[in-house]
Amino acid sequence: MKQERRRFEKEEYLERQLKTRKSMNALNVEVLIVYDPANMFWLTGYDGWSFYVHQCVVITTDGGLFWYGRGIDAKGAELTTDLELNNILSYPDDYVMSPERHPMEFLANILKEKGLHNKRIGLEKDNYYFSARAAESLYSSLPAATFSDQTGLVNWQRAVKSETEITYMKRAGKVIEGVYERVMQVAKPGMKKNDLVAEIYHAGVQGHQGHYGDYASFVPLIGAGEEAAACHMTWNDEPLKNNEGMFLELGGAYARYHCPCSRTLFLGTPPQQYLDIEKVINECIENAIEMFKPGNTCAQISDNFTATLKKHGYEKNNRCGYPIGCSYPPDWGERTMSLRGTDHTILEENMTFHFMPAIWFDDWGFEMTESIRVGSNGGECLSNVPRKLLVK
């Protein structure tokens, strides 16, 4: 059972931990408390729906590393990691959601026992999962420590993917291909939006071509008619209408690795405005694929995109993409680089991005996006969903 749950060889985890320690040394950090579940997963393999309670991985520059979480989740750490049992540590259940005590107070005592109470400690302060109370508990419990904000330290180590990670993302790409195949089979006027999303969920979890579907870090985003002008809408029970367009922002997932892919679906005969923007966005994607090669920058890809839009009389004032990989709700991005004109990060081979040249107008919107691997001679799309306005 335990072997089946391990996603990578032990050597790959050791390489990841070494990269992280090198970065910690460069930033003068002796102890790093890693709260982000994707970072925990990447460093150790730990995988469980337990991120609603306080948990972390603690890694030190002198070779130490242990998982820390709720007592009933310790078995999950045993099953999904290759950590020794003495490096799987837990807190009693009366610390769970308690106004009197906090799990970080219990962790502070463990750090004291290990002689780590007076070290230079890095925290992921700007993270969905790390609360203000968690920080305050550490500050008050470890007065001899020096704290610094190291949000993103591990995230940046994840930027260049291994061959196994690329394989998992391509399998996620197969999953999303199956999802869109199902959408095109069942979507029709009169179908309730929630029924369409139920089909999307079923296809996404069932998987495709022998690859199972993991849960995606985003719920299916769906906007029909005027709601397509709002980029992060979810579904209700309203029926789909004839001669109406809708965006679908969906993602396939496999072993926690993601392949997002958005498309626009029109039920009926699409008006000219849809056909016009389809051509423009296709040109943007074709240009970008060629530019996803080592040495180019995030800004260059963004500038090319905005220049192409401007040439055709369109504008977009937000970023056009971000890095992707392993993730947990509520986001499938890695929260490091952005494809925008002010980000001059240089691309490296096997970085992976969701290139998102979506555009929203006052009363409608159009999305057509690709997940792309940076390749030596240009980008490689991680899925093969028909790149066009889907019409039914």
* Burial (CB count <10 Å: 0-12, 13-18, 19+), residue 86: exposed
| Interacting residues of 245 by C-beta distance below 8 A, sequence separation 6+ | 224, 225, 228, 264, 265, 266, 267, 270, 274, 364, 366
Q: Which residue has the tokens 């950590």?
A: 83
Helices and strands counted in the chain (H then E): 11, 16
- Residue 310's Cβ-side half-sphere holds a number of Cα atoms within 13 Å equal to 7
The mean pLDDT value of the chain amounts to 97
| Mean pLDDT, residues 197-225 | 97
Q: Is the pLDDT of residue 2 over 60?
A: no
Q: How much is the average pLDDT of 116-136? A: 97
Q: What is the 8-class DSSP label of residue 390?
A: E
- Overall average pLDDT of the 34-44 stretch: 98
Is residue 194 over pLDDT 80? yes
Spatial separation of the C-alpha atoms in residues 90 and 109, rounded to whole Å? 12
Strand partners, 321: 355
Q: Which amino acid is at 132?
A: A
Cβ neighbours, 10 Å, residue 181 = 13
Question: Is the per-residue pLDDT at 336 higher than 90?
Answer: yes
Strands 221-224 and 146-149, how do they pair? Answer: unpaired
23 within 8 A of 156, measured Cβ to Cβ: yes
Omega of the bond prior to 330 within 30 degrees of 0, cis? yes
> Which pLDDT does position 284 carry in this prediction?
97
- Average pLDDT of 137-151? 98
Q: Summarize the confidence of residues 169-185 as an average pLDDT.
A: 98
Tell me the C-alpha distance between 11 and 73, whole Å: 25
**Residue 14: pLDDT above 70?**
yes
pLDDT digits (tens, 9 = 90+) for 260-313: 999 999 999 999 999 999 999 999 999 999 999 999 999 999 999 999 999 999
Cα–Cα distance, 375 to 27 (Å, whole number):
30
Per-residue exposure over 186-203, b if at least 16 CB sit within 10 Å of its own CB, e if not: ebeeeeebebbbebbbeb
341 contact partners, CB below 8 Å, separation of at least 6:
299, 302, 303, 306
% of the chain exceeding 90 in pLDDT: 97
The pLDDT value given to residue 1:
38
- Res 4: pLDDT: 64
pLDDT at 105 over 60: yes
Please indicate, yes or no, whether the overall pTM of this predicted structure exceeds 0.95.
yes
Helix (H, G, I), strand (E, B) or coil at 387: coil
CA 249 from centroid of its chain's CA atoms:
14
- Range 180-186 contact pairs with CB under 8 angstroms and sequence separation of 24 or more: 180/248, 180/250, 180/261, 180/263, 180/385, 180/386, 180/390, 181/208, 183/248, 183/265, 183/390, 184/390, 184/392
Both tokens of residue 65? 């590393």
Q: What pLDDT does residue 6 have? A: 84
Residue 260 pairs in a beta bridge with 251
pLDDT tens for residues 220-247?
999 999 999 999 999 999 999 999 999 9
44 and 83 Cβ atoms separated by less than 8 Å: yes
Query: Hey, what domains does the chain have and what are their CATH numbers?
Result: 2-157 (3.40.350.10), 163-391 (3.90.230.10)
Q: What's the token pair of residue 113? A: 């026992």
What is the spatial distance between Cα 380 and Cα 160, in angstroms, rounded to a whole number? 14
Confidence of residue 5 (pLDDT cuts 50, 70, 90): confident
SS3 259: strand
